[in-house]
Amino acid sequence: MSADAPSPPASLQGRHYLLVTLGCFRNEVESDLLRGALSRSGLGETTRINEADVALVMTCGFIREACDEGVDTILELAEVASTAPSRPPIVVLGCMSQRYGVELVREMPEISGALGADWAPDLENALRAVLEGERFVAPARAPRLSTLSRVADSSDGAQLYVRASDGCDRGCRFCAIPSIRGPHASRPVADIVEETARLCAGRQREVILLAQDLTAYGSEIDQGTDLAGLLREVARVEGAHWVRMLYLQPEGVTDRLIETVAAEPAVVCYFDVPFQHASSRVLRAMGRPGSAAEHLALIGRIRSAVPDAAIRSTVMVGYPGETESDFEELLGFIQEARLDWLGAFVFSPEEGTAAASLPGNVTAEVALSRYNKVLEIQEAQELRSAGDMSGRELEVVVEAVCELEGYDLVGRSYREAPEVDGIIYLLLGPGGRTPRPGEFVAAKIKGQEGLDLVGEI
């Protein structure tokens, strides 16, 4: 701590916290920022509830299922905490708390404190209050992009998640993100590059740039600042062995961005583009542009410039007013697009969104049937894609020792983003050494295990 930095509050020094992180990759970054702030306040981290003076839960709250998981986690944590000698109070932070903070504290006696997405200004006051047996709810405040310096890195293996921007200016009628995270705000290029270089720290890393709308990066900064320029700067950081982007809105995937991916060796040829639907009628009802023809044209431009590109998307079925004709158009698009990976979701009416009150509800039975049909068609496509990979040599990052009998390790190539896509089962060749998790090695694809690849290193 520098001589000019304020001293941590005496009531917090030497205390310990237990931190549970829920939700997406962005929350891993959020929790790392929280760890840094807690350290500056004099607290140390523990993984044992018996040693914790306070328990913290970084929540997700974009969809109902995430909120349900948050509530279940809080109840489970409270039950475990009740067996600890000091019964540590529970403080919730993040997106669910941003949406429902006052209601959570009022309706759940298990919760002692609630801080929203912009938790930093109230953190020390909240900790002091709950440690003294009081309850604390942060005042309502519009979320804003954190300016805290990230000193912690809890990423496993080679992965390094870096937040490029936060918030969203889009008007998708089914989505609560703008009301939770606020308007889109980009971090300066220099800050992103500095953080990446500092956290690579001589290691070879897979740098994963995160945002709710990554293609909007730089739109509100200086003219000429954009995602393509950011990619070029990050790709030059020592230790940035791979650079991956999550997530790209279709209209933001410009020729300039595609050309940058093709030209920069460190930028992996991976495009995660959430199309959401293919029917222009449904897309307009969602508040999104596009059509099946426009989506296919974009996919064609990507594959023309980057022949080995892996393309992932997400689609939603059962949106209010979706007809059988709309759904058949979506199926036709999926078959023609030949996407490498696809996530499918059934529409969920999220509180506070315009879509929650739309007429023309699709019955749960019909929506589930459509969901299953999408998965059936996509699974057949992924099986074909896996078969086409046989004989290819890919660079892979080793993730862990394999628990499935018959294989030695598991890893991923540029084609697989962490957690959401497949994996590669790895066999050790004769006489070869065993690489450690986090290492990048060459693997020759020998076959497949279901939808996943099998390679030899």
Q: Look up tokens 């930028």; give the residue.
A: 267
Q: Return the sign of the alpha-carbon dihedral for residues 210, 213, 215, 218.
A: negative
For CATH 3.80.30.20, list the domain ranges present in the chain. 159-388
Looking at residue 376, what is its pLDDT?
97
What 3-state DSSP class applies to 209? Answer: strand
The pLDDT of 54-73, averaged and rounded, is 90
Average pLDDT in the chain: 92
Q: What is the pLDDT of residue 352?
A: 85
Closest CA to 396 of 434, 369, 426: 426
Q: Quick one: pLDDT at residue 139? A: 87
| CA dihedral sign of residues 423, 424, 427, 428 | negative
327-359 confidence digits (pLDDT tens): 999 999 999 999 999 999 999 998 889 999 898
Tokens read off for 289: 């542009």
pLDDT in tens, 19-32: 999 988 889 999 99
Fold type of domain 16-137: Rossmann fold (3.40.50)
Q: Would you say 299 and 261 are in contact if contact means Cβ atoms under 8 Å apart?
A: no
CA separation for the pair 333, 295 (Å, rounded): 9
pLDDT of residue 221: 85
E-only strand ranges, 267-361: 270-272, 310-317, 341-346
The shares of helix, strand and coil residues in the chain, as percent rounded to the nearest 5, are 35, 20, 40
DSSP one-letter code for 7: P
Q: Are strands 165-166 and 113-114 parallel, antiparallel or unpaired?
A: unpaired
Tokens of 92: 């919730």
The answer on pLDDT for 4 being more than 60 is: no
Q: Percent of the chain, pLDDT > 90?
A: 77
Q: Which ranges in the chain are annotated with CATH 2.40.50.140?
A: 393-456
pLDDT of res. 3: 44
From CA 275, how far away is CA 316, in angstroms rounded? 9
Which CATH homologous superfamily contains domain 393-456?
Nucleic acid-binding proteins (2.40.50.140)
Q: Taking the chain, what is the end-to-end CA distance rounded to the nearest angstrom?
A: 46
Summarised one tens digit per residue, pLDDT across range 353-389 is 999 989 899 999 999 999 999 999 999 999 999 999 9
Question: Which residue, among 347, 313, 310, 353, has the nearest Cα to 333 in the 3D structure?
Answer: 313
Buried b (16+ CB within 10 A) or exposed e, 162-187: bbbbbbbeeebbbbbbbbbbbebbbb
* pLDDT for 320: 97
Rounded CA gap, 64 and 30, in Å? 21
Query: Would you say how long the chain is, in residues?
Result: 457
Average the pLDDT over 296-315 and give the result: 97
pTM score: 0.91
Give span(s): CATH 3.40.50.12160, the chain: 16-137
Determine the Cα angle at 263 with ends 262 and 267, to 5°: 70
- CA–CA dist 457, 435 (Å, integer): 9
Q: Are 166 and 142 in contact (CB under 8 A)?
A: no
Share of the chain above pLDDT 70, in %: 98
Structure-token match 């889009």, residue found: 170
Of the candidates 172, 178, 34, 41, the one whose C-alpha atom is nearest the C-alpha of residue 98 is 178
For residue 255, pLDDT beyond 70: yes
Q: pLDDT tens digits, residue range 155-188?
A: 878 999 999 999 999 989 999 888 888 899 999 9
For the ranges 2-6, 239-243, 432-436, which has the lowest average pLDDT? Answer: 2-6
Is the confidence at residue 1, as pLDDT, over 60? no
Distance, in Å, from the CA atom of 176 to the CA atom of 66, rounded to the nearest integer, reads 12
Q: Is 79 exposed, middle or buried (0-12, 13-18, 19+ CB in 10 A)?
A: exposed
The arithmetic mean of pLDDT across residues 56-70, rounded, is 89
Q: What is the 3-state secondary structure (H, E, C) of 223-269?
A: CCCCHHHHHHHHHCCCCEEEEEEECCCHHHCCHHHHHHHHHCCCECC
Look up the CATH architecture of domain 159-388.
Alpha-Beta Horseshoe (3.80)
Question: How does strand 205-210 pair with strand 240-246?
Answer: parallel
Question: Given a cut of 80, is residue 264 above it in pLDDT?
Answer: yes
Q: Could you check whether the bond before residue 407 is cis, i.e. omega within 30 degrees of 0?
A: no
pLDDT score, position 285: 96
d(CA 192, CA 153): 14
Residue 2 has what pLDDT?
Answer: 45
How far apart are the C-alpha atoms of 399 and 159, rounded to whole Å? 10
Sheet with strand 270-272: strands edge to edge: 270-272, 310-317, 341-346
CB of 213 closer than 8 Å to CB of 172: no
Q: Is pLDDT above 50 for 409? A: yes
Q: What does the DSSP assignment read for 347-398? A: ----TTSGGGG-S-PPPHHHHHHHHHHHHHHHHHHHHHHHHHTTT-EEEEEE
Distance separating alpha carbons of residues 213 and 192, to the nearest angstrom: 16
